[in-house]
Amino acid sequence: MFTNTYLFSSESVSEGHPDKICDMISDAILDSYLAQDPDARVACETLATTGHVTIAGEVRTRAKDHPPAADIARNVIRSIGYDQDAFSWRTVDIVNRLHTQSADIARGVDDAGNGEEGAGDQGIMFGYACRETPALMPAPIVYAHGILQNLATDRKAGILPQLGPDAKSQVTLRYRDGKPVGVETVVLSTQHIEGLSAADIKDIVAPYVMDIFPKGWAIDPNRLLVNPTGNFVIGGPDGDTGLTGRKIIVDTYGGAAPHGGGAFSGKDPTKVDRSAAYVARYLAKNVVEAGLADTCLIQLAYAIGVAEPVSVYLDLKGTGRVDPVRLAKVLREMVPLTPRGIRSHLDLARPIYAPTASYGHFGRSPRDSGSFSWESTDIADQLARAFGAIAQPVSAQSGH
């Protein structure tokens, strides 16, 4: 009998990666609108390159004053730590091209009938949960995020002054019979000050890599690949142009589950690209937390201007303990899946999005501010009771 063994990899990028700078700016601007007007409609895009940032998109708001987008962008860049010659929060040129939302889009979204809002666009969204980690997330993406988060924390605290803001990680794990059993390879590229070799950087970051994995998961030093190109002094938008929404797999499940294709950052919660992906994760996580399955994948599909999803698909990947057809029906009865219903159930019409823009939108702990409300497992007990079961909690609602 053959053992089912394989390798699986996921990557992450730091908040200083050019694309993530743009995500963070877009979500910070979104939050500034929602702080003044919870019903604001925002679709904000950002581009960053050497010495320059452009902000563009559509907005509809009742706020008396539009937030100072350029100042918000500059503060984000400063918080990340960019003060280098070719990209500094002090001197970066910022152009704001935000404009009023299309009346045609507004009409379709506002008038879906029965007092409901229609979906802001067509599209398919996925939610996923599994028992690989306490956060009910795939292990490779959790560890890839964790390495970069820990490095960024100490860099900002002044403990790692040798490192710059821009970094990427990639984690490859060994799986046996569907469960992660060890680490195979870690690739880590991090910006650094002039004069340090790849070996120097490896000595600095190795403890952070080793510390993120479970005890007993030793890694062959030859499989820890640090700054493989040998030098990474020029980083951030000075080295590569960034755009909002280019790291959607980093933002979600690291490739372990499908992605509908829509990005999240810069979009208000009437956009189902964002809100429906959040509620799909919420439902999938509660299914697994309730002990009804070890793995759960949910797909929602919407049509622009139509409130209810046109389809709901549920796949328990052969791990289910209940009828998936009945489970899908129960989930729809418990949680409304219209844009307004999702926004109300998860309390999304608040300035809660800036923290989501780096290190993943899922697998994070719900915060008092309201960020990551979709990571709550507050309906797990109700779900279990609906099937005559007792919830089997496997998460501590803690992420990376």
58 is in an annotated binding site: yes
For 141-148, what is the mean pLDDT?
A: 98
Q: Where are the domains of the chain?
A: 5-13+138-234, 18-110, 123-131+245-257+269-386
Per CATH, 5-13+138-234 and 123-131+245-257+269-386 having the same topology is answered: yes
17 is in an annotated binding site: yes
pLDDT (tens digit per residue) in 70-101: 999 999 999 999 999 999 999 999 999 999 87
156 is in an annotated binding site: no
93 is in an annotated binding site: no
Question: For residue 269, with 0-12 CB atoms within 10 Å meaning exposed, 13-18 middle and 19 or more buried, which class applies?
Answer: buried
In CATH terms, is domain 123-131+245-257+269-386 a member of 3.30.300.10?
A: yes
45 is in an annotated binding site: yes
86 is in an annotated binding site: no
Decide which of 116 and 347 is more confident: 347
CB contact at 8 A, 178 and 4: yes
**Domain 5-13+138-234 class, CATH top level:** alpha beta
pLDDT at 109: 61
For 331-339, what is the mean pLDDT?
A: 96
Average pLDDT taken over every residue of the chain: 93
31 is in an annotated binding site: no
Question: Is residue 102 pLDDT above 90, yes or no?
Answer: no
When pLDDT is cut at 50, 70 and 90, the band that residue 104 belongs to is: low
191 is in an annotated binding site: no
pLDDT at 396: 43
pLDDT at 120: 75
200 is in an annotated binding site: no
End-to-end CA distance of the chain: 36
263 is in an annotated binding site: yes
Q: What distance in Å separates the CA atoms of residue 21 and residue 80, rounded to the nearest whole number? A: 8
273 is in an annotated binding site: no
400 is in an annotated binding site: no
267 is in an annotated binding site: yes
When pLDDT is cut at 50, 70 and 90, the band that residue 117 belongs to is: confident
Question: Is residue 309 pLDDT above 90, yes or no?
Answer: yes
pLDDT (tens digit per residue) in 214-261: 999 999 999 999 999 889 999 999 999 999 999 999 999 999 999 999
pLDDT at 399: 42
For 149-171, what is the mean pLDDT?
A: 97
pLDDT at 122: 87
Q: What distance in Å separates the CA atoms of residue 111 and residue 115, rounded to the nearest whole number? A: 8
Using DSSP bridges, classify how beta strands 5-13 and 163-176 pair: parallel, antiparallel or unpaired: antiparallel
Q: What is the CATH number of domain 18-110?
A: 3.30.300.10
pLDDT at 116: 73
20 is in an annotated binding site: no
Question: For residue 88, with 0-12 CB atoms within 10 Å meaning exposed, 13-18 middle and 19 or more buried, which class applies?
Answer: middle
